[in-house]
Amino acid sequence: MIVSLNTYLIIIGIFCLLIVIKPLYTRFIKKEESKNDAILLLLLLTIPINWFTPTILTITDCNNYTKEVVLFPTTKDGFKINYGRATYILNKSDRNLTFEYYYYGDNTPAKGEENKEIEPKQNAKVNVISIDYILSEPAESVSTKSSGATKTVLRCK
């Protein structure tokens, strides 16, 4: 099942609200200590849910794309999509796309960080949760607390 990013955010918001409503009601409306306070720890579930929920970027031209989220493993345009830390790029345009890693400061490529060329009408899977710059130019420098940073870029050629 594939949904738009906005629908996904609404679903996660409702999920969080359902988790916290009873403990908050007990504590602040009834003004009682609650055994349900531990249920608030269920909010921590939203971290791995977001971490392992894949994203689909459908590029229709160099200025237009849609971002969707996969709730259940599925197939789209003959491309099998499963759970995991990944972004699936579906190139529906007539131009080549390039997925690149940009290294700022002292950062160097980590294992598995490879640039990809995505031809027109082709699909690709990249092992990142989100792409920092989609169809836009990356910043010339970024502010970091450490010696460097790595950003990801998807651009149209």
Domain match, 97 and 63 both: yes
Same domain, 27 and 62: no
pLDDT band at residue 37 under the 50/70/90 scheme: low
Q: Quick one: pLDDT at residue 112? A: 85
| The most confident of 43-52, 58-67, 141-150, by mean pLDDT | 58-67
Across the beta sheet with 64-70, the strand order is 2-4, 64-70, 55-61, 87-91, 123-126
The predicted model scores a pTM of: 0.81
Query: Mean pLDDT over all residues of the chain?
Result: 87
The average pLDDT across 80-90 equals 90
Number of domains the chain is built from: 2
Both 71 and 148 in one domain: the answer is: yes
- 113, 44: one domain: no
Which range has the top average pLDDT, 44-53, 74-83, 118-127?
118-127
pLDDT band at 31 (very low <50, low <70, confident <90, very high): confident
Let me know whether 134 and 150 are in one domain: yes
Same domain, 33 and 72: no
Whether residue 69 is found in the same domain as residue 119: yes
Of 111, 70, 118, 52, nearest in space to 90 by CA: 118
- Do 9 and 57 lie in one domain? The reply is no
- Does residue 72 sit in the same domain as residue 39? no
Residues 21 and 97 in one domain: no
Percent of the chain with pLDDT over 90: 43
Same domain for 84 and 46: no
Residue 34 pLDDT level (bands cut at 50, 70, 90): low
What range does the domain containing 29 cover?
Answer: 2-50
Query: Which one, of 133, 137, 154, 151, lies nearest residue 90 by Cα?
Result: 154
Q: Which of 14, 35, 50 is the last residue of a domain?
A: 50
Lowest mean pLDDT among 15-19, 35-39, 68-72, 103-107: 35-39
Residues 11 and 82 in one domain: no
